[in-house]
Amino acid sequence: MESALQTIEQMAPDVVPSLMLPLAGRTLLVPTVTVAEMVPFAQAEKVEDAPDWLLGDFYWRDLRVPLLSFEVLNGEALPEVQPKSRVAVFNNTGVDEGLPFIAISTQGIPKLVRVGNEDIAVDDEGQNHAFDRLHVTLNGEAMTIPDITALEHVYLEWRNSQ
């Protein structure tokens, strides 16, 4: 009889469609299913008494979505908005139904990639930050897989303290 792990491994896709999201000084790698939409950057509506990592409420499809700076959350400077800056709107990970989406600003146009097991490797040399899930190399290029659940948690902790 097969173990549950063997069954899961057999069900895993050989290739995962993913997006490379350019940030200041790094590239995030996320499966496409985590991203609801990539949209051009627009200034968010400021939120009173918000921490510096919360850029404000971003209006997307008639919804107010919190727009976060991944760089600032990780102790880095807030990058300037570039002409090619975009907003990555992430689907909820199930942390809180009251937060259907969360967004981060990016520094450029994302690149669609197909990630196979032979293309990716764990990078133990990568510098860990609070909101990094894993450091990897994809075809030799260093990337970070973000911890989207942690992004949701930090926002919800702040929102619930207000």
pTM score, whole prediction: 0.88
In a domain, 109, yes or no: yes
113 forms beta bridges with: 18
Burial class (CB in 10 A: 0-12, 13-18, 19+), 126: middle
Mean pLDDT is highest, among 12-26, 48-62, 110-124, 126-140, for: 48-62
Q: Please tell me the predicted confidence (pLDDT) of residue 104.
A: 98
> What is the distance between the alpha carbons of residues 82 and 23, in angstroms, rounded to a whole number?
11
In a domain, 1, yes or no: no
Q: Please tell me the predicted confidence (pLDDT) of residue 120.
A: 87
Residue 145's domain comprises 17-161
Residue 2 has pLDDT above 70, yes or no: no
Residue 7 has pLDDT above 70, yes or no: no
Q: What is the DSSP string of 13-55?
A: -SEEEEEEEEETTEEEEEEGGGEEEEEE--PPBP-TT--TTEE
Q: Please tell me the predicted confidence (pLDDT) of residue 121.
A: 87
In a domain, 5, yes or no: no
Residue 129 · residue 74 · CB < 8 Å:
yes
Q: What is the pLDDT of residues 57-115, one digit of tens each?
A: 999 999 999 999 999 999 999 999 888 999 999 999 999 999 999 999 999 999 999 99
Q: Please tell me the predicted confidence (pLDDT) of residue 85.
A: 94
Q: What is the CATH number of the domain that holds 87?
A: 2.40.50.180
Average pLDDT score over the chain: 90
Residue 5 has pLDDT above 90, yes or no: no
Q: Which value, to the nearest 10 degrees, does the dihedral of the CA atoms of residues 105, 43, 76, 53 take? A: -90
Helix, strand, coil distribution of the chain in percent, nearest 5: 20, 45, 40
How many folded domains does the chain comprise?
A: 1
Q: Please tell me the predicted confidence (pLDDT) of residue 62.
A: 94
H or E element at residue 75: none
Q: Please tell me the predicted confidence (pLDDT) of residue 1.
A: 46
In a domain, 71, yes or no: yes
Q: What is the DSSP string of 107-118?
A: SS--EEEEEEGG
